[in-house]
Structure 1
Amino acid sequence: MKSVIYVRVSTDEQAKHGYSIAAQVEKLEAYCVSQGWELLGVPFIDDGYSAKDLNRPRFQEMMDVVKAGGVDVVLVYRLDRLTRSVSDLYDILQELDQHDCKFKSATEVYDTTNAMGRLFITLVAAIAQWERENTGERVRMGIEKKTKLGEWKGGTPPYGYFIEDGKLKIHEDEGEIVKEVYKLAKTLGFFTIAKQLTSRGIPTRYGGDWHVDSVRGIANNCVYAGYLTFNESKKEYKKPPREQTLYEGNHERIISREEFWDLQDILDKRRTFGGKRETSNYYFSSILKCARCGHSMSGHRSAKRKSYRCSGKKAGKNCSSHIILEENLVKTVFAHFSQLTEKFLTAAGNSEYPTDRLATLKSELSAVERLMQKKKTMFENDVIDIDELISSTSTLREKEKEIRRELNSIKQTDTSSEALKSIVENMDTLWLHANDYERKQLMTTVFSQLVIDTKDEYHGSKQGAREILIVSAK
């Protein structure tokens, strides 16, 4: 009989059980000699691959050889070297049958030529699959408990941290880059930031160039703000932080909570309206509306001059609006700035800072934090078990999130009113010394919407620019 040998081992299995490549090959070659079988070619070896699926290069090569014909038997050291999945085993046996090839384990007695042998081998594969899945569930439960206790769940630490005694510690040099990314991401897109970091010669952890996904991963990683996450699937981890379940981590923060959530507000806005519009250097690109059709007006470069045109008209809608030069729009806004912002300043001056409510919230937050620490101490002293700790702290974390949300809302309202008043009163000076991105921030801080139109219809460029009308401002 002509046979081929298949060998597989993962790193963990080799360490725990001694299923080394050399040992398997030696025993299988000796088995072929004892049976008088002819060994075809060299053994097919998958080193460091799991048996959870069939995506293994040498296994696929072996099956191609079997399909080509001339192979009488596939020999393995044990069944679980071939697969740990019942469905995969069934598919493999079907494939071998179609090409008149048998399956043989050197250390187990299987006969795949009759129904009883097939039943037995299927039961063994089912047990192997159960063991793998059961182990996976236990590991998952352990990771979940560690996360809920605020401990690092293991694996490669995010950029900006390193592992010491199983805990996350801040890497000073990388931590500074993380802070810079958070600062830049408020006004620049991820692609632009990646280009800047690369051009400045700042290496990634592994020495390569920065990629847009690397920057995005940093900007969306809640670990930097002291949180930990545990999700049901990899797909869940790709969702924005607000859509994930967050747990309090014990590690030191690189980014403050306020700065983290401020950036998330900006990123959420980009996801809604489009990142390019929010990060471009067009001063009005995210706040301009066409008075004639109600569509937004987007940035447009014509003859090296920045301008705006109706996005509805651009998409083929019936709109008679015209292209507006940015420099002319700026002149119009500043000519009417006092009238446009008068009602904003009045509203800001009338807003009352709820000091009593703020004090109450701070007191409630301190009480929740003390109670969470008390529960943790009780667990460490075996007064309560892990399930009770997780249950109680989960409730307390939800309460903490509600308090922090209201606190942030109060602070942002007060800060926004003060910032708006300061910007309006010093707009001329601020504008004079600001770059394009800072000017965009000034405009979007003062205005959330400007609805514009032109006074006259098209009459030729020689007659001068059309007069711009600001229909309304918010």
Structure 2
Amino acid sequence: MKRKLNNDKTILRVAIYVRVSTEQQAEDGDSIRDQLNSCETYIKAHENMILAGEYIDGGISGQKTKREDFQKLLSDVRANLIDLIIFTRLDRWFRSLRHYLNTQEVLDKHNVSWTAIRQPFFDTSTAQGRTFVNTSMAFAELEAQNASERIKGVFKDKVSHSEAISGRTPIGYSIVDKHLVPDKDAPIVVAIFEHYQAHSSMGETLRYMQDAFGIVRSRSSLKRMLQNKKYIGIFRDNESYCEPIITKELFYDVQRLLKLNIKTCKNRHDYIFSGLIRCVDCGYVMSAASNHNHYVRKSGEEVDHFYSVYRCHANRLHRCVNNKVFFESSIEKELLKRVRPELEQYICDYKLETAPVVQNKARIHKLQTKLSKLKELYLNELITLEEFRTDKADFEYQIEELQKEEQKPVKDLSSLEEFLKLDFENIYSSFTAPEKRRVWRSIIKEIQVNHHKNINIVFL
């Protein structure tokens, strides 16, 4: 509540708000200390003012409302602990008109005013003053957006010239002459990617990093590392931003495994097909679970039998018709029976399908030769200009269509062909569950099932 002095002047509880953005902290007259000194001097010059609190946000843009001390300030406003808020300039308060208007609504509700002490012409107590403030805020927002665009332009230019845009570098890289170059830790990066590819486990990879290299990371930090395209030399629109540390084949295989989002349950049970089985009826990946049967044999021996099953999670929420239970052992038997003939057929069909693409280079070369001869015919006046234009357009169209087909990526089937050379059917039973999981993930993209219990294998 406001108090009164002996001369009937109301005492105002004044909050000081200070904000600097990262690039402005070193500017003259804009530092935190300078803003605080100015505001404290202002309060001392008014005998009816007392300091209610100081709220300081450092290194935060005025276009954001998620500022820690700014939120504390609003909380104290709502608690009716403040009568007046002061700051040095209007752009310290906000640079977004929409955010300013939303905050002003809170201040009005609790009868809190504000003053920009270096810009005393701002006055929120009159309609004209509010209009002037709103107009100024609009220009302040425009200025901030223009500054943001200029910074983005600088960054874009740096990226196009393969220059580092900050001093922070991913593990395995150092900055030399403004460019990222692999350093002595580059082999560690390769080892981490290969370890994740082999185990498909975030937890296992985190333990490996700590035990082998003393690197402690969070799960989210490791995921960001594994998704960082700089490791294959790509950043934003620059396909040759820096020297790659790992191959594209390894990188994109790791991305495939990350999308499977394999999670280990609390009892650390290993599900062989976790993340691979997809319900065709609703499109969701099926959930894995462990079932337990306890029974007593005629001999009196008690037996515990554990087995893994897969169910459609959407069915539990009544959003899918697939209420079937798929036993892991049954899926294993089905795959072992079908995988070799179907994989052989898949490789054969793919090679036949892509054969014309491989032959396109010869066709394009032949058409380009015809174009050259056509030009000679025209220059030697053996054909008319109209004939030249018609035939030229036809050849160029054929070349363009062939080039489109040629640009289609051709899969590398060598790993699948190597798999077929293995006698995996006879040695499969000796594998552990994690080894079985790695085998199937090396050749299968997903296993599609439906409520009729049909199974379709989709290879990589």
TM-score class normalised by the smaller sequence = 0.5 to 0.7
Q: Name which of 25, 34, 43 aligns with 1:23.
A: 34
Aligned AA for 2:421?
S
1:128–1:306 distance in 2 versus 1, CA, 3 Å = same
1:192 aligns with 2:199: no
**Cα distance, 1:224 vs. partner?**
1.0
Partner of 2:152: 140
Is residue 9–residue 19 contact of structure 1 (8 Å, CA) maintained in 2? Answer: yes
Structure 1 residues 360 and 289, CA, compared in 2 at 3 Å: closer, same or farther?
closer
What TM-score, normalized to structure 1? Answer: 0.62
Aligned partner of 1:168 in structure 2 is 180
Q: What is the TM-score of this pair, normalised by structure 2?
A: 0.64
What is the alpha-carbon distance in structure 2 between the residues aligned to residue 289 and residue 78 of structure 1?
Answer: 58
Residue number in structure 1 paired with 2:120: 109
- 1:181 maps to 2:188: no
2:170: which partner in 1? 158
- Quick check: 2:25–2:59 contact (8 Å CA) kept in 1? no
1:40-68 C-alpha deviation (Å, 9 max, x unpaired): 34543333333223333433444444455
Matched, 1:259 2:258: no
**Does the 8 Å CA contact 2:43/2:51 hold for their aligned counterparts?**
no
Q: Quick check: 1:182–1:263 contact (8 Å CA) kept in 2?
A: yes
Pair 345,103 (structure 1): closer, same or farther in 2 beyond 3 Å: closer
Higher mean displacement: 81-90 or 185-194:
185-194
The answer to whether 1:2 aligns with 2:12 is yes
Q: How does 1:381-420 map to 2 (within 5 A)?
A: 406=409, 408-409=410-411, 412-417=412-417, 419-420=418-419
Report if the CA contact (8 A) 2:315-2:322 is conserved. Answer: no
The structure-2 alpha-carbon separation of the partners of 1:33 and 1:404, relative to structure 1 and needing over 3 Å to count, comes to same
Aligned to 2:134: 122
Residues of 1 paired with 2:130 and 2:339: CA distance?
83
| C-alpha distance in structure 2 between counterparts of 1:210 and 1:262, whole Å | 22
Give the letter for the 1:263 counterpart. V
Question: What is the alpha-carbon distance in structure 2 between the residues aligned to residue 46 and residue 70 of structure 1?
Answer: 20
> Which of the pair is proportionally richer in helix?
1
Kept after mapping to 2: 8 A contact 1:28/1:76: yes
Bigger mean CA offset, 250-259 vs 1-10? 1-10
The one-letter code matched in structure 2 to 1:261 is Y
Q: CA deviation at 1:325?
A: 5.6
Q: Which residue of the partner structure matches residue 393 of structure 1?
A: none
User: Residue deviations 1:213-246, cap 9 Å, x none?
Assistant: 22322222222111112xxxxxxxxxxxxxxxx5
Unpaired runs of 5+ residues, structure 1, are 230-245, 365-398, 452-470
Q: Does 1:87 find its partner at 2:98?
A: yes
Q: Deviations over 1:110-141 (max 9, x none)?
A: 23222222222222222211111111122223
SS of 2:25's equivalent in the other structure is: helix
Does 1:210 find its partner at 2:201? no
Is the alpha carbon distance of 1:449 and 1:131 closer, same or farther for their aligned partners in structure 2, counting shifts above 3 Å? Answer: closer
Whole-angstrom CA distance in 2 between matches of 1:40 and 1:309: 66
Q: Paired residue for 1:226, among 222, 227, 233?
A: 233
Aligned CA-pair RMSD: 5.0
Residue 427 to residue 165, structure 1, CA distance change in 2 (3 Å): same
Are 1:32 and 1:38, in contact at CA under 8 Å, matched by a contact in 2? Answer: yes
Structure 1 residues 222, 403: closer, same or farther in 2, change over 3 A? farther
Query: Cα distance, 1:91 vs. partner?
Result: 3.8
Please state whether the residue corresponding to 2:170 is helix, strand or coil.
coil
- Asked if the contact 2:80/2:110 (under 8 Å) is kept, the reply is yes
> The residue matched to 2:199 in structure 1 has which SS?
coil
Partner residue in 1 for 2:50: 39
Alpha-carbon offset, residue 9 of structure 1: 2.5
Partner of 1:423: 422
2:249 aligned partner, one-letter code? E
The residue type equivalent to 2:231 in the other structure is Y
SS at match of 1:15: coil
Q: Which moves more between the two structures, 13-22 or 304-313?
A: 304-313
* 8 Å CA contact retained: 1:305, 1:325: no
CA contact (8 A) 2:43 2:49 kept: yes
d(CA) in 2 for partners of 1:101, 1:343: 74
Q: Which amino acid aligns with 1:215?
A: L
Change (3 A) 1:280 1:160: farther
Q: 1:413 to 1:39 in 2, by over 3 A?
A: same
The percent identity for this pair of structures is 22
Residue 256 and residue 402 in structure 1: after superposition, are their counterparts in 2 closer, same or farther (change >3 A)? farther
What is the distance in 2 between the residues matched to 1:48 and 1:360?
Answer: 56
Contact 2:21/2:61 (8 A) holds in 1: yes
- Give the structure 2 partner of residue 249 of structure 1: 240
Q: How does 1:449-460 map to 2 (within 5 A)?
A: none
Question: Structure 1 residues 165 and 39, CA, compared in 2 at 3 Å: closer, same or farther?
Answer: farther
* Residues 58-101 of structure 1 deviation map (CA, whole Å, 9 limit, x = unaligned): 33444444455575533222122222222333344444444444
